[in-house]
Amino acid sequence: MVRFWDRFRRKGKKNIGVWESLQAIVFSSWLNILLVFIPIAWVSHFLHWPSRTTFALAFLAIIPLEWLVEWAGDEMAHYLGKDLGDLLIVTLHNAVEATLAIILLTHCDLSLLKSTITGVVILHLLLVPGTAFITGGARVLHQDLHPHLTELNHSLLTLGVLSLMLPAAFFAAINTNFNPSGTAEANESIVNDTLRGHMLKMSRGISFCLLFIYICSRIYLHIPPGEKEEVHSQLPDALKKEELHLQRNEPRLNQYVGIVLLAVVLGLMAATAEWLVKSLNFAREDTNIQLEWFGLILLPLVSYAADGTVAIVYFLRHLLRHFFREPSPPQTLAKGRAIDLSIQFTLFWMPFFVLLGWWTGRPMTLLFDFFEVAVLIGACFIVNYVTADSKTNWAEGATMVSFYVMIAVCAWYYPGQTENRIMSTCPQTVAEALEALASGHSLEGHH
């Protein structure tokens, strides 16, 4: 503990000044230019401008906010050490997605929330690492992953996905005669509030188990049994160089300025994300986009806007440098942090949403649409297979991106599971949702 506080206060080292920190914040990225859209997006929301306008402005406003959160997390990691720093970075990289999910939960939009959770996980399992493996591995035979983390990640990822398979299998085993065009009385014998009550209790029990496993895994990684030197000796040379670089690198942000920056930016991001979610209704009402595609693909991509923009610019810059200037040396260390984001979202944030729903009176369960569960199982399988040897290459990255595109194409036509959506109605009871369905009303109005 003493060593932690000495590091946090930079004992024996020069402290970063407030003015120097403010300059570093301003010049951290060209994306900060987009900060001007924050007040405009807020004005658009409160003055009830067209939903499309509010959506576009909020989308542009959230990009620099997401960047600042992640940049501040990277800088604060210098004061926390590698282990706690990595945990902070992963948590802050999930901040936008978690904020959007909490807003959907407070709006009682549980079907869309579950689709979005699935979409966030497959985005960080397939598209993000897949593109990183393609761009990073284009000039080398293979790239290395952290073997110590990769082995544990396989087990954690599989457990997280299987925790969703259990409620789905339970529901499928007892649900054999549901008929969307049948009477409410006939359907209520299969889909009812009693069954949802059982699902809620089951989901809460599973959620406590998932949180327990996630905490145990962090303890194992941050305080490994035996000597740390033994673990360090097994690392690839590229990873050892990366750790040495992090130790020698100096922060550009004062630790206390960083805390204030994170508090302010997270507050602004939460409000802006809510305006974004509210303005998205135009896409659901004025277009023929399926709810599943909306949650599985669109919302996760919106939350990834900042990282995606930075990645595209980075790729174009290195492409131009390759053709017109001396190319930079190839990276032999694969960028696989996105997989850690998926694991945290599955083992920490997903059960947190279930328990938060319990505390706030919203019936959030782990009963996901069967298509979503199948997609997650497939993504888990391909990621574990690709990373099994702790090495990746651009061809394996291409398979991951291709599978994501396949999912997006299928989700475009998938209407969703009616009985599952009824089990996710909120704040109505299942009986009220069945009555509404029997009367010819759409479930879209019964979130």
pLDDT of 90-132, one tens digit each? 888 888 889 989 999 998 999 999 999 999 999 999 998 888 8
Give backbone dihedrals phi and psi of 323, rounded to 5 degrees, phi first: -90, -35
How do the domains of the chain map onto residue ranges? 2-445
Tell me: the pLDDT tens digits for 226-285? 655 554 455 555 555 555 655 567 788 888 898 999 999 999 998 998 888 888 766 666
| pLDDT higher than 60, residue 155 | yes
What is the structure's pLDDT at 409? Answer: 95
What is the structure's pLDDT at 242? Answer: 55
* Average of per-residue pLDDT values in the chain: 81
What is the structure's pLDDT at 7? Answer: 66
The residue-averaged pLDDT of 213-237 equals 69
What is the structure's pLDDT at 442? Answer: 61
Percentage of residues in the chain having pLDDT higher than 70: 75
What is the structure's pLDDT at 382? Answer: 93
What is the structure's pLDDT at 246? Answer: 57
The residue-averaged pLDDT of 65-89 equals 82
Distance CA 302, CA 120 (A): 10
226: region left, alpha or beta (phi > 0 left; psi from -120 to 50 alpha): left
What is the structure's pLDDT at 2? Answer: 47
Distance CA 171, CA 78 (A): 47
Name the residue among 279, 356, 284 with its Cα closest to residue 117. 356
Is 12 in a helix, a strand, or coil? coil
What is the structure's pLDDT at 89? Answer: 83
Distance CA 71, CA 258 (A): 10
Decide which of 191 and 194 is more confident: 194
What is the structure's pLDDT at 185? Answer: 57
Distance CA 323, CA 98 (A): 40
Distance CA 208, CA 439 (A): 39
Is the separation of the CB atoms in 236 and 144 below 8 Å? yes
The residue-averaged pLDDT of 191-197 equals 87
Decide which of 89 and 160 is more confident: 160
What is the structure's pLDDT at 35? Answer: 92
What is the structure's pLDDT at 334? Answer: 44
The tokens describing 129, both together, are 């690492």
What is the structure's pLDDT at 333? Answer: 41
What is the structure's pLDDT at 245? Answer: 59
pTM for this predicted structure: 0.86
The residue-averaged pLDDT of 297-307 equals 81
What is the structure's pLDDT at 447? Answer: 46
The tokens describing 194, both together, are 């009693």
